[in-house]
Structures are given as C-alpha cells and as structure tokens.
Amino acid sequence: MRYPRPKPPAGGIKANYPGFIEPALATSSGKVPAGERWVHEIKFDGYRVQVHLRDATVKVFTRRGNDWSNRFRKIAADAWNINAGSAIIDGEVVVPAVDGTTDFSVLQNELKGRSKKIVMVTFDLLYLNGYDVRKLPLFERKALLKKIIDKTDIQFSESFEVNGGEMYKHACRLALRASSRRSATVGTSRVVSTIG
C-alpha cells in the first residue's frame, strides 16, 4: 500500500473514517432508462463487497457488513497495492469467464477451493484519504477510483454513455444489465435500475 499525498478531492467532505457503509442496491425496472442523465454499467453476478483500507490494513466486507477478509484473501492481497492511505471501495467479487461474463455458481464453486481465479471489479469510491466523497457525482468518484487502482490486479467497471436502448440490446446478448444516473451521489439511489 503506497501513501501518496494527493490534493484532496474537490467537493469531498473532510471526515473521520466512517467504517462500513450500507451499499446502494439496484432496483428492478420494467423499462430502459433513457436520456443524457443516464450512464450504463455492467451488473456482475458475484458477491457485492466493500474493500476498506485503513492504518496499513485491508478488510473485505460483504454487503451486509460481515468481515470476509479471510475468505477473500486474494482480494485483500490485490487491494494492498491500491494507491491510497485510506479508502472505501465498492465492488463485486467475481470469477470472469473468457468472454467476460460472470456466473455466481462458478464463484461459489471457486470459493470451495483456494480461490485463485476470483477478482474484484470496482465501480464506486466512497471514501478517500480523509474525505467522504459520496456527495461527488458518480463520474467524478469513478475517475478518482480509476487512478488509485491503476497498476493493481483490481479491475475497473467502466460506465457507458450510450443510448439506453442500444445498451440494453447488447446487454441482453451477454446477460448483463444496469443503469445509473450520471450525476448520482451515494444515498440518492446510485444504481436505480436493472433490467432483466
């Protein structure tokens, strides 16, 4: 874990380390979100987790706040190289197939063994180096996230600024789906819709 002294994130709020943060979960919708205020993301089929970096320690929590650092040792080891002194990162632990798709049953089987094929795919940053960044727009949080996981084995989930209908067609072919408001802040329904 490297300890940079970057500029504080513009718009971040100086704050004590908050500990586990209740995740914003996807809600189902019967129609595809449309318009420029939406970006689209892949919804992975795995375990939702938060990685916590603090005081030279890495912890991996489930979406219910259970400490699974021992079960996800590989993820904790990968997260050790994140370029931050303290951070809370939201993501999904998956086992990616050759075509990039994920399957929860494959992940469960992998966890019965040594879990060498699991990876964390990150999609949000909630806290960084003494600043609560949840009030920043999603695209700003993702830009910060992408920087701090660069040159690690942690993967980054891109957002797509495309027509919702087109994204839906492509996602259906690959069994992938999710949309978020472009300017969403955490706690205001970051991921507001999944299809399928």
Q: Which residues are catalytic?
A: 43
Cβ–Cβ < 8 Å for 116, 89? no
Chain-centre distance for alpha carbon 90: 4
Q: What are phi and psi of 47, to 5 degrees?
A: -100, 125
Smallest CA-to-CA distance from 123 within 136, 139, 101 is with 139
The contacts of residue 107 (CB under 8 Å, 6+ apart) are 45, 46, 47, 93, 94, 95, 118
CA–CA distances in Å: residue 172 to residues 100, 106, 134, 175, 195: 14, 20, 30, 5, 9
Let me know: does 25 contact 107? Beta carbons within 8 Å. no
